[in-house]
Amino acid sequence: MRNLYCTLQASGSADVARVPESEAAGTFVAHVVVSDPDEGRNGRFDCALGADSGPAENSFRLMSVGEGEYQLLTAAMLDREQGDEYRLSVICEDGGQPPLVSSARLLVQVRLIIINFIVIMSAAAASSAQLLQRNRAMFCII
């Protein structure tokens, strides 16, 4: 039996992942499952990450988390100014002769982080203000 399957599951959908910019390296992007029902050398496989487009070099990495399972993680903090979309491929090849190859593609979109501000001004001291960040979406000037 000569079959090799590679599938991706991202948090956004099966083929699109959305990652906030400025997240730390190691941020989860997608789960990769690889299966090969063959035995012996034909049942062993290696997977690699490729970039179809976008400046993906050194931006993502594959980490093995078990037999036939990988996590696609960020390898560095992503910056929308360097690239707001990455088209990635996970390519797996078994040890058979000839080797079977299976791949799965994923679009990674880098989301802009908007920090919402709340400005609270005291009526007694109109020249002083308190600025709070990372609150629910609202903007208020009193």
Domains and CATH numbers, the chain: 5-111 (2.60.40.60), 114-142 (no CATH)
The mean predicted confidence, pLDDT, of the chain is: 77
The torsion angles phi and psi of 92, rounded to 5 degrees, stand at -120, 140
Q: What is the pLDDT of residue 15?
A: 84
Q: pLDDT (tens digit, 9 = 90+) per residue, 42-98?
A: 677 888 888 876 666 689 999 999 888 899 999 999 988 888 899 998 888 888 888
| Choice between 22 and 140, residue whose per-residue pLDDT is larger | 22
12 to 49, 96, 106, 113: CA distances (angstroms) = 20, 34, 11, 17
pTM comes to 0.71
The torsion angles phi and psi of 47, rounded to 5 degrees, stand at -120, 145
Q: Which of 30, 26, 20, 133 is nearest to 79 (CA)?
A: 20
Q: pLDDT (tens digit, 9 = 90+) per residue, 5-53?
A: 777 778 667 788 999 988 899 999 998 888 877 777 767 788 888 887 6
Q: What is the pLDDT of residue 130?
A: 53
Q: Which long-range contacts (CB under 8 A, 24 or more apart) does 40-44 make?
A: 41/94, 41/95, 41/96, 42/2, 42/94, 42/95, 42/96, 42/100, 43/94, 43/95, 44/94, 44/95
125 pLDDT higher than 50? no
Q: What is the pLDDT of residue 62?
A: 92
